[in-house]
Amino acid sequence: MKAVVYTKRGLPDKLIYRDVEKPCPGDNEVLIKIVAVSANAADFRSMSMGIIPKKRIFGADIAGRVESVGKNIRLFKPGDEVLGDLARYGFGGFAEYAVAPEKALILKPAKISFEEAAALPMAGITALQAMRDKGNIQEGQKVLIAGSGGGVGTFAVQLAKYFGAEVTAVCSSKNVEQTGSLGADHVIDYTKEDFTKSDRRYDLILAVNGNRPLFAYKRILYPDGIYVMIGGGLLQIFKSILFGWLMSFGSKKMCFLTAKSNQKDLEFIAKLVEDGKIRPVIDRRYSLDKTADAIRYLREGHARGKVVINVG
């Protein structure tokens, strides 16, 4: 089969499109013929940190058809259309075929295209778990989403509206219109206004991208408000992990979330898409042999939604 193999520690140029052996499912695995896979910051961040999957193939968010199943598989059969997140199971999505345990997968609703399905898992689940689980989002709350333009941000805006919040979203000028069309009540262009210096206060801040001092975020929280950091610069992430607990003395809480995909949350997100309550925003599409270009584009840090690679 064709796959994109990571050859050496370094930049996306080390991703080589070539023939490799087709994987064979173990007793507890499903073999999937991949139709679409989306790229995530997790792919290039793992590359630059030297965290390399065993088969040297990145790609987590997959959608495709079940080709065959191991003897202990109960939930899926050949021909089923599935989607899933392979990040916790060795990646392997930048390829024509991948194997996964059944807990990594759900059935793809027929109404959702393979491209849309591949765009959902990591970004959708991160936004969901950050706001619903860590942030305990409630109807009527004022929510700030800092970094609304990318994969996670576009889901976060729509999910916050779905949960009934009043949403203020922060992005650059080119994403103002798109963010408004996703339902944000107020959109702040960070090239024109510093949201940390305004008088507005928030019950929940989701820090997706763009680094502001932690004290500045804390200042614009209401008492009992919570700041949930999920992304941005690595230094900022380390600061949130190291100092968040220290800054959480008192009524305002500051924390970091590492999202963990699971079938229940994947089904929740997929159902919202199926019912037309939210939609994945797809910025660019690439073919499998152009995966290095897709990663290079994503690494620039200004994707407008998800970047999808069409495989089959």
Ligand X SMILES: NC(=O)c1ccc[n+]([C@@H]2O[C@H](COP(=O)([O-])OP(=O)(O)OC[C@H]3O[C@@H](n4cnc5c(N)ncnc54)[C@H](OP(=O)(O)O)[C@@H]3O)[C@@H](O)[C@H]2O)c1
Residue 219 half-sphere exposure toward CB, CA atoms < 13 A? 10
| Tokens (6 digits) for 216 | 């500045």
139 in contact with ligand X (CB under 6 A): no
Q: How far is the CB of 135 from ligand X (least distance, A)?
A: 13
The interface mask with ligand X, positions 204-223, x = CB under 6 A, is ----xxx-------------
The nearer residue to ligand X, 35 or 127, going by C-beta atoms, is 127
190 in contact with ligand X (CB under 6 A): yes
Q: How far apart are CA 188 and CA 168, in angstroms?
A: 7
The site that binds ligand X (CB under 6 A) totals a number of residues, namely 32
Among the listed residues 38, 46, 141, 175, the single contact to ligand X using CB under 6 A: 175
Among the listed residues 59, 121, 153, 225, the single contact to ligand X using CB under 6 A: 153
Q: How far apart are CA 35 and CA 216, in angstroms?
A: 44
Q: How far apart are CA 237 and CA 1, in angstroms?
A: 38
| Tokens (6 digits) for 206 | 């989701």
Q: How far is the CB of 93 from ligand X (least distance, A)?
A: 15
β-pair partners for 167:
143
**Which positions from 218 through 277 interact with ligand X, judged by CB under 6 A?**
230-232, 257-259
Q: How far apart are CA 112 and CA 118, in angstroms?
A: 10
280 in contact with ligand X (CB under 6 A): no
Residue type, 215: F
Taken in order 96, 281, 159, 114, is the CA torsion positive or negative?
Answer: negative
User: In degrees, to the nearest 5, what angle opens at C-alpha 260 toward C-alphas 59 and 92?
Assistant: 20
The nearer residue to ligand X, 81 or 283, going by C-beta atoms, is 283
| Tokens (6 digits) for 290 | 């152009």
Q: How far is the CB of 23 from ligand X (least distance, A)?
A: 25
The nearer residue to ligand X, 73 or 184, going by C-beta atoms, is 184
Q: Which residue ranges make up the site for ligand X (CB under 6 A)?
A: 40-41, 45, 122-123, 126, 146-147, 149-153, 170-172, 175, 190, 208-210, 230-232, 257-259, 298, 301-304
